[in-house]
Amino acid sequence: MLLAVSLPYPAKVSAQQQVSAKGAVCSVKEEGLTLTWNQVKTPAILRLPARYGSVTLPKTFSVYIVNEKSLQRYLAMAGKRGNTPTTIHLPSLSDQECIRFKVISSGTLSPELAAKFPGLVSLKGLGIDDISASVRIDYDGKVMNAEIRQQDRYYIIAPWKKGNKTYYVVYRKEDATTKRSTPAGR
Supply the pLDDT for residue 175.
Answer: 82
**pLDDT at residue 162, as a whole number:** 79
Q: Is residue 134's pLDDT more than 80? A: yes
Over the stretch 159-184, which tens digit does the pLDDT of each residue have?
A: 988 778 899 989 988 888 765 544 44
Question: Pick the residue with more confidence: 175 or 17?
Answer: 175
Q: Which of 16-25, 32-41, 113-122 has the largest mean confidence? A: 32-41
CA 26 → CA 23, 96, 105, 146, distances in Å? 10, 9, 22, 16
Please give the C-alpha separations between residue 48 and each of 53, 67, 82, 133, in angstroms, as whole numbers: 12, 22, 39, 33
Taking CA atoms, 79 is separated from 34, 54, 71, in Å, by: 15, 34, 12
Mean per-residue pLDDT, 29-52: 76
Q: Can you tell me the mean pLDDT for 45-68?
A: 71
151: pLDDT strictly greater than 90: no
pLDDT at 110: 81
Which of 13-22, 23-32, 66-75, 118-127 shows the lowest mean pLDDT across its residues? Answer: 13-22
Query: How far does CA 113 lie from the centroid of its chain?
Result: 22
pLDDT of residue 9: 29
Q: Is the pLDDT of residue 11 over 60?
A: no
Total count of residues recorded for the chain? 186
| Across 42-46, 61-65, 161-165, least confident range | 42-46
- What does the longest C-alpha to C-alpha distance in the chain come to? 47
Q: What is the mean pLDDT of residues 13-27?
A: 48
Give percent of the chain above pLDDT 90.
Answer: 40
